[in-house]
Amino acid sequence: MAKLSSIAYYVTDKISSNDISLAEYVTTDCILQNKKGREVATNLPPQPCSLIRYQRGDVLIANIRPYLKKVWFADIDGGASPDVLVFRAKDGHSPSFLYAILLQDSFFDYVMQGTKGSKMPRGDKEQILRYEMPTFSCSEESIGTFFLNLDRKIHLNERINQNLPILDRSSNEGEVHRVA
């Protein structure tokens, strides 16, 4: 077993909210529950402020209410609110492997064991880095690529399913209706 801290660290680099666009801003609200990625934020901070500078390949996790399993593998550069943890793979380690590790239910269960607060529990940043991961005999890159491809296929299938027509069995004609 190896600790998460052996392959990743928290990003602490800063960027001004004035230097990013709405599409590059990440908050806990725009990372979707149950590992479904993210949507574009609805607004930038009302006052200029300092954000965590993330980059493509970082893994962002909402640190408020970790049981919601909000995680996103960054495909752009930008800035994140302080309630978002930004993980970066250390040199020599695969960002996609890091994502595969942080995508696991066992990771979120572990984070919940160390939360502080009851109404809006937050993960304990030091405890999170002590998360023990299994060691594998195959390469990090192949494991990470497998999980990234699987994640993309799941999201694609969800989008396809949202657009499928549903057979209306209540009518005599067996009409096909699109669900809105």
Distances in Å between the Cα of 31 and the Cα atoms of 37, 73, 108 are 6, 10, 15
Model confidence band, residue 57 (pLDDT cutoffs 50, 70, 90): very high
For residues 39 and 14, give the distance between their C-alpha atoms in angstroms, rounded to a whole number: 22
Q: Is the pTM of this model over 0.95?
A: no
The CATH code for residues 2-157 is 3.90.220.20
pLDDT band at 179 (very low <50, low <70, confident <90, very high): very low
pLDDT of 70 = 97
Type of residue numbered 67: Y
Please answer whether residues 98 and 73 qualify as being in contact, where contact means their C-beta atoms are separated by less than 8 angstroms: no
- Give me the pLDDT at residue 150, please: 74
Can you tell me which residue has the tokens 């699987």? 150
Give the pLDDT score at 180: 47
Task: Report which of residues 160 and 177 the model is more confident about.
Answer: 160
**pLDDT 10s digits, 142-169:** 776 777 777 777 777 877 787 877 655 5
Domain residue ranges of the chain, discontinuous segments joined by +: 2-157
What rounded mean pLDDT belongs to the chain?
87
For residue 162, what pLDDT is reported?
A: 79
Residue 154, classed as helix, strand or coil, is helix
N-term to C-term CA, the chain:
47
Instruction: For 12-53, write each residue's pLDDT tens digit.
Output: 999 999 999 999 999 999 999 999 999 999 999 999 999 999
pLDDT score of 134: 73
175 pLDDT band, cuts 50/70/90, is low
CA 177, distance to chain mean position in Å, is: 34
